Structure 1
Amino acid sequence: MKFSAILALCVVSLVSPTSAYNIYKADAVNCRSSPSTSGKVVRTYTAKDNISLTCQTSGENVKGNTLWDKTTHGCYVSDYYLKTGSNGYVAGKCSSNGGGSTPSTGKIPGPIKDDYPYKGSCGGVDPWRYYKCQCTSFVAWRINSRLGVKFHNMYKGPNWGNANKWDNAARQTGVPVNSKPVAGCVAQTNAGNYGHVAWVAKVSGNSVTIEEYNWSKNRYSTRTVPKSTFNYIHIKV
């Protein structure tokens, strides 16, 4: 594969993570398992902490504010206590299950078809903090929908960012990266300006069949290529 053919794979695939915010109106605030003061306390933030968000949702009314902020630690803080500079949304809305993701509904790796929810409506930011119809958005959606893993741009802490950062981010978080593909893992390359990620749909001999977006003009496509084309990130399988 010529690297020059990969330059336009995931152009500007990264959405900068939500800015870090500080607590005010309190010296410390609890981060809870649900957007409610009755939710289990998962951790406590203090005024010195910089808190990054993955999404926001409505919840229990706290001093006139019903907005709750889901942090990169997977718990919720009342927006009343965060100094975001706005009384409204500064991050994407969480999905109905509160995680900015879709629960797993099919078998791994699932059918080979274009069931990406944003096809035909590209542009803007998805619930996982990537630009819609980029390779990273498509794979983030597949991880959520087929693996049942609440993956996003700040999964387990580091910024996964553009596709060419995914291998290092995976290693930082203890997610295996190797040269051994299995159906349902992520194919990843650092080639080109931004790299590329794809969904491994099938492994046969020395070849892999992948599903992907934005290999060509924000569209879905499939290819069968040599295993050696990619690294493989094993988030669940």
Structure 2
Amino acid sequence: MAVDHVGEVGEVGEAEVTVGVESAAVAAVRSYPVAPGHRLNVRSGPGTNYIIVRTLPLGAKVPISCQRPGTTVTGPYGTSNIWDNIGNGEYVSDAYVLTGSDGYVAPRCG
């Protein structure tokens, strides 16, 4: 069982941080909050075997442009093999993103 987060901290404040690529093409992409108290690793591909390219701050929201299957991860929102593409070559485990669904909420990545 893999866990893909950096650490847990107490209550998250009201501030909201949006991360990802911003352009007219992304404007229609919906953003979702990362689980409170978690700084989430962003990886270069859909799995824990891919390199960490950055870490999201507490209170982050992520734009999900597409999703694909990958390594199964257990997080605050259950166990999932769905990985969310949040930018060019940037993926996070859906188990740490509050999408309101256990399934896909965006198109599959091509």
- Offset at 1:67? 0.5
Indicate if the aligned counterparts of 1:17 and 1:52 stay in contact, CA closer than 8 A: no
Does 2:80 match 1:65?
A: yes
Does 2:56 match 1:41?
A: no
Whichever residue aligns with residue 48 of structure 2, its letter is T
Deviation above 4 Å: which 4+ runs of structure 1? none
Higher relative contact order at CA 8 Å, sep ≥6: structure 1 or structure 2?
Answer: 2
Deviations 1:82-123 (A, max 9, x none): 01111111111011xxxxxxxxxxxxxxxxxxxxxxxxxxxx
- Offset at 1:25? 5.8
Whichever residue aligns with residue 70 of structure 1, its letter is N
Distance across 1 between alignment mates of 2:41 and 2:26: 28
More helix by share: 1
Indicate if the aligned counterparts of 1:22 and 1:82 stay in contact, CA closer than 8 A: yes
> 81, 98, 102: which is aligned to 1:87?
102
Deviations 1:158-200 (A, max 9, x none): xxxxxxxxxxxxxxxxxxxxxxxxxxxxxxxxxxxxxxxxxxx
Q: What TM-score comes out, normalization by structure 1 length?
A: 0.32
Q: Percent identity?
A: 37
Larger Rg: 1
Q: What TM-score comes out, normalization by structure 2 length?
A: 0.66
Report the aligned-residue RMSD: 2.0
Query: How many residue pairs get matched?
Result: 82
Distance across 2 between alignment mates of 1:65 and 1:26: 19
More strand by share: 2
Indicate if the aligned counterparts of 1:26 and 1:81 stay in contact, CA closer than 8 A: no
